[in-house]
Amino acid sequence: MIKASLTSLRPISLVFLIFLLPSPSMGQTRNLETEYNFKRYELVLSNVSWEQARSAAQAAGGDLLVISSEGENTHIADWLQTQLSFIRGATSGVSDGGGAIYVWLGASDAGQEGTWTWVNDVQFYSGDGQTGSPISGRYNNWGSGPLGSEPDNFGSGGQDYAAMGLEAWPTGRAAGQGIGESGEWNDISGNSTTVYVIEYPRDTANDVVMAPIFAASSGIQSYLRFINPTDTPGEVAIQFSDASGNILREICRVGVKPNYAGQLGMDSLTEACQLAESDAATLSISYTSDFIGYMQHVVWNPTGGSLTNFSVCSKAAESRNYLTNVHSSKITTYPSRISITNTSDVAKSFKLDFTDSQDQSLSVGTWESPVLAAKAHGLYKIPDIETDLGYSPPESGGFHYTVQFDASSTGGILGHFVDNLDAGVITEFTARCASQ
């Protein structure tokens, strides 16, 4: 295809390259491994067909390589270049791939010509290199140059299996003068042979488990809040399962901006993560993150209009003194209140810093509480605090605040509560889960 624009994901800064000895028990030679964004990959120097490569990968406990971002593609391509001399020793150029050296990818259109599908059943591209297009904007990196565009289903036997080129093709052409370059993809015949990479499932042994989560089809709306209090972008890796433990998606990555507390409904997550179809009304998630932060599960029940904190998980987070998603006065049906408890032995007031939960550049202001006696507490309405600060939320956005003690304020605990005006109840929103 004509090369699509690339949607990049942030690469993890640490890359581990581990030399391993052969593993006779697997009947394969383990040469090199690499890790990227919670996943582990193994290069196998066996010159085999696509079907043989997949069978071996599955027997080893993984599957063929699936690439879902520019960052992942770059990482894999760069790693394989460091092993190109070993790869050349195990395989030769693929004749129906312009004579270049390749590594198998876990993608094929053998099921339906022109519908390219990863081995995890995610369809990512439709059509050929001339007129095709990505499915739902998913990443692809087909080769395209002056001599043509991939995939092209070249030859009488067809080309139904994807591979990553490790050099430009056709060989002998100068860079940019052929069809594809190193790191780009080509469709080649299933009868061709080359080396492959095993992608292993994410290790979930140390994950945080959160359940129950209401499925998008249940009629009750679950929202997951992703909270990154650090100064660097992060990512959460999630595995979705139904109530019986059947995996609906092995890994879905959610990027989280620095100093950000946003939420996604299960309808959005179901579509974005391409969850397998299920009749389950409730789900479980198993997750971890590459930053130290929080997760929160909020449930809205249209029947009765209640909004509740449903953060039941295997690892609760230390929640005091840092609140997120505190409702501004724009959310009138579910107004927020915050509590301050003076845990010290002296009377004092407390200063609280208010910022926008989704846009930390919007500094709302620093509010000072009334003086609280020793061991006393106060409960304060957000509209009253906005009035004290002389602040009005912007017309666009401005629905949630992040609230924390000013650096000069010590000896206190913060709490967050929401009035469900229609339901006639007050619910606690302080509790959260750890992000890792």
Using the Cα atoms of residue 95, residue 98, residue 103 and residue 105 in order, give the sign of their dihedral. Answer: negative
Give the integer Cα–Cα distance in Å for 299 and 316.
Answer: 18
CATH number of the 17-200 domain: 3.10.100.10
Give the integer Cα–Cα distance in Å for 143 and 182.
Answer: 9
Q: What percent of the chain has pLDDT over 70?
A: 92
- Identify each DSSP E strand in 215-317 by its residue range: 221-228, 234-242, 247-256, 260-265, 282-289, 294-301, 306-309
pLDDT band at residue 31 using 50, 70 and 90 as cut-offs: low
Is residue 151 exposed (0-12), middle (13-18) or buried (19+ Cβ within 10 Å)? buried
Domain spans of the chain, in order of start: 17-200, 208-434
Over residues 263-287, the mean pLDDT reads 90
Residue 31 near residue 21 (C-beta atoms within 8 A):
no
- Global pTM reads 0.66
Give the integer Cα–Cα distance in Å for 336 and 214.
Answer: 24
The terminus-to-terminus CA distance of the chain in angstroms comes to 40
Residue 389 near residue 367 (C-beta atoms within 8 A):
yes
Q: Which of 31-45, 80-94, 202-216, 298-312 has the lowest mean pLDDT?
A: 31-45
pLDDT digits over 378-394, tens only?
Answer: 999 999 999 999 999 98
pLDDT digits over 34-91, tens only?
Answer: 988 788 899 999 999 999 999 999 999 999 999 988 999 999 999 999 999 999 999 9
On whether the 208-434 domain is CATH 2.60.290.11, my answer is yes
Residue 284 near residue 241 (C-beta atoms within 8 A):
yes
**326, pLDDT greater than 90:** yes
**281, pLDDT greater than 50:** yes
Query: What is the token pair recorded at 338?
Result: 């915050």
Give the integer Cα–Cα distance in Å for 103 and 87.
Answer: 9
Query: What is the token pair recorded at 225?
Result: 């809040």
Give the integer Cα–Cα distance in Å for 115 and 123.
Answer: 7
Over residues 136-160, the mean pLDDT reads 90
Over residues 328-346, the mean pLDDT reads 95
Over residues 18-46, the mean pLDDT reads 63
pLDDT band at residue 320 using 50, 70 and 90 as cut-offs: low
pLDDT band at residue 29 using 50, 70 and 90 as cut-offs: very low
Return the amino acid letter for 267: D
Q: In what order do the strands lie in the sheet with 351-356?
A: 322-327, 400-405, 351-356, 363-368
Q: What percent of the chain has pLDDT over 90?
A: 72
Q: Which of 142, 96, 178 is nearest to 1 (CA)?
A: 142
Q: Which helix (H) or strand (E) element contains residue 130?
A: none
**12, pLDDT greater than 70:** no
pLDDT band at residue 158 using 50, 70 and 90 as cut-offs: confident
**405, pLDDT greater than 50:** yes
pLDDT digits over 96-129, tens only?
Answer: 999 999 999 999 999 999 999 999 899 999 999 8
Put residue 162 in one of left, alpha, beta given phi > 0 → left and psi -120 to 50 → alpha: beta
Determine the pLDDT at residue 205.
Answer: 86
Over residues 258-263, the mean pLDDT reads 92
**7, pLDDT greater than 60:** no
